[in-house]
Structure 1
Amino acid sequence: MIFFKFIRLRTWWFKLPPFLVLIYLYFIKVNIEDFRREIYLILFLLAGLIIGAIFASLVNNFYDQEDDLMAGKENIMISMRKSQQLIALVITILFGISYSFFLLTNTYALVFYWLGWVCFYLYSCKQFRLKEKAYFGIIFDGLGSQFFPTLFIFAFLFGDTIIKSLAFVISGSIWMLFAFGMRSLIIHQYNDYENDIKAGVSTFVTSTSELGRSGFQTFVLLIEILSFMIFNWTIDWNIFVLPIGIYVVLLIGLNVIFKIKYYFFIPNQNQKSRSLFFDFYCTILPFTLLGLLALKNNENYLLLIVSVLLFNVPTMFNAINFFKIRPR
């Protein structure tokens, strides 16, 4: 649908499941076993994230029109009148303001929510254009898309008791920042390298030396792994044994059967390849967490089914296209 292309749904939908992981692990930490009673809370938090993601997509498209036109990239805003573009942005901002009225009793949640929006604006707008400032672009995109939204979720869930769970909150926020913010954007920039060169866009990948990129990428990966390990430790590492085991088997199976190669930052050219850990973070971990919790409480199967339909079914169709397997 045109609307889905307009809000660039495919660029951020796959980033929602890790936020669900945060919410599920919060429920586990505070011993909430009946997720069905929390479905409205989950939907409320997802709604806030989606509104923010739509704003990030629109403001990025708004300021990227000239570059996308030069690179031949799809940008629906190019075909719209300026007044229509501004109306779309204003409507999204009004949705964000309306959503904020539900956060007025939680100052931290309100501040963290809007800090994400500010980062998106600074990242895209012509006055600052941090997306073309190499390291600043990587950092601010991660802050806007992952770090502050994660803090918003935790601030909303924990409320006044957030101080008692700082190790859990900080390690989870840093993991999201380095995995889905910084590493994900670096991978995206490698995929967009030719388009960025064609449009004359300066990014971390196009403007830094190979030595500089290598050192920074190593730092990003190490912090991602370390923060995730600490995050596991703050809950109960035993619950991660099964999903990790499933992922290891999947890695071996895909490599042996389909000759899939794996990478951390730079996609392998001219062959099928997957970025390491992302399938685990986005698909296996949320699915297995819900599966384990459904075994403890049968009523959680409802949420498991909804999660599969919203996230795992699209993943399945993407996998069919990826492997070029046609369903019989």
Structure 2
Amino acid sequence: MNNFRVNNPLFMQFQKLVTIIRANEWWAFKGAPVLATAYATASIFNIPLLSLWNSLILLLISLSVVAIYAHLLNDLSDQDEDLIAGKSNALVGRSKLFKVISIVSCLFFGVLSISLGDLIKLPLALAIYISNWLIFFTYSIPPIRLKQRDILGVLADTIGAHLLPNLFAVVWIAHVSERQIPLLWITLVGTWSLASGLRGIFWHQIKDIENDRLAGVKTFAVQTSVKTLHYFGKWIVFPIEVIAFTGMLLVSNNLLAGVFLALYLATVWLRYYFWKIYTVIVLPFANRSTILTEYYILFYPLAFLVISVWHNWLNVIILIAHSVLYFNCLWIWSRDFYVLFRWEIPIYLNKLQVAKK
């Protein structure tokens, strides 16, 4: 199977495309939680997910186009810095025509998304969507280039990558469901997405701090310190994130999400106990995972998908489609869970019995 992948031209082209658009950095980490917010919003409105299938597809496509545009724009602006720091950049060595076509294609599909979604008739959703495009432009392109403007760069990345996509999901689902947006719900979603996004960009900037220093990129981490970001992320941002997300689960009245949270935390503890895989809040280190990231990617959407199937079995179509789109996330957790309960725990219990004898 691996040999087929290596030698298959179609698969190789697909891999090149994934590398160019840096899908591994946003497809699961940012895409799945936004879809989960859409599922959760539909749950609050008591709308069957299957009736929203076309709206969910449009939501995924429209936000994916923004994500691709953001990463292409960032690579386009970071070419010189990445060369100095020795970082990979998918646009280095590409022709000017390729770069222009890439950006223009994104803009074309963005306009197409606005047209297909009829966002002209929905000013709030249109404003959020256009703002999402503009903020990534100001983040990357000189002379504004917020990326190098201290805390403004952190806020721009967080707002563009997390806050606006989640707000767009809430507004879009409310629109197609013909329901009023609950103020408490959109406030909690906004607070959670902003806080979780801040923690994510802190992690990213700390991870890249040496490369950024070498390249002369004045990120917030470079101009302050790792200690500052760690303290702020751990003791201020993370508690706000947890409180807001807890509020979301309470408002949505999804008990299964709580059960899944317990299952996730148990998995985290078992990985640490048997494999010494540590879980961190902000600081990136080898053999460490970031707390709640896997939950947001895997269990947050699954909690609402499973409940939707419980209420209407036809929603299993959406559950299957989502599982296929994010199969790798489900596979990694399932593999670990199987190995832990099939081998690690039985071997440990057996050792205890032998020790007692």
TM-score strictly above 0.5: yes
SS in 1 for 2:252: coil
Residue correspondence of structure 1 range 48-197 to structure 2 within 5 A: 48-101=62-115, 102-159=118-175, 164-179=181-196, 181-197=197-213
Q: Which is worse superposed, 204-213 or 93-102?
A: 204-213
Counterpart position of 1:252 = 269
Contact 1:60/1:124 (CA < 8 Å) preserved in 2?
yes
* 2: CA distance, partners of 1:152 / 1:200: 35
Give how far 1:304 is off. 1.5
Deviation per CA, 1:110-157: give whole Å up to 9, x if none.
000010111111111121111122211111101111112222222222
* 2: CA distance, partners of 1:61 / 1:244: 36
* 1: CA distance, partners of 2:132 / 2:304: 27
**Match 2:305 to one of 290, 303, 311:** 290
Contact 2:279/2:290 (CA < 8 Å) preserved in 1?
yes
Counterpart position of 1:229 = 246
* 2: CA distance, partners of 1:249 / 1:317: 15
* 2: CA distance, partners of 1:318 / 1:57: 27
Cα 1:237–1:319 change in 2 (3 A) is closer
* 2: CA distance, partners of 1:153 / 1:237: 19
Contact 1:77/1:85 (CA < 8 Å) preserved in 2?
yes
Counterpart position of 1:261 = 278
SS in 1 for 2:289: strand
Q: Which amino acid aligns with 2:53?
A: I
Contact 1:262/1:274 (CA < 8 Å) preserved in 2?
yes
Q: Which amino acid aligns with 2:107?
A: I
Contact 2:254/2:303 (CA < 8 Å) preserved in 1?
no
Q: Which amino acid aligns with 1:64?
A: D
Cα 1:203–1:147 change in 2 (3 A) is same
SS in 2 for 1:274: strand
Counterpart position of 2:218 = 202
Question: Are 2:352 and 1:299 aligned?
Answer: no
Counterpart position of 1:13 = 27
Deviation per CA, 1:41-90: give whole Å up to 9, x if none.
11011111101101101111110111111111111211112232122112
**Pairwise CA RMSD:** 2.4
SS in 2 for 1:76: coil
Larger Rg: 2
Cα 1:69–1:202 change in 2 (3 A) is same
Question: Are 2:17 and 1:3 aligned?
Answer: yes
Size of the alignment, in residue pairs?
319
**Match 2:294 to one of 279, 302, 315:** 279
Counterpart position of 1:219 = 236
* 1: CA distance, partners of 2:192 / 2:334: 26
Cα 1:318–1:297 change in 2 (3 A) is closer
Give how far 1:315 is off. 5.3
Give how far 1:228 is off. 1.2
SS in 1 for 2:143: coil
Unaligned residue ranges in structure 1 (runs of 5+)? none
**Match 1:44 to one of 44, 52, 58:** 58
Cα 1:237–1:91 change in 2 (3 A) is closer
SS in 1 for 2:279: strand
Unaligned residue ranges in structure 2 (runs of 5+)? 1-14, 341-357
* 1: CA distance, partners of 2:230 / 2:257: 30
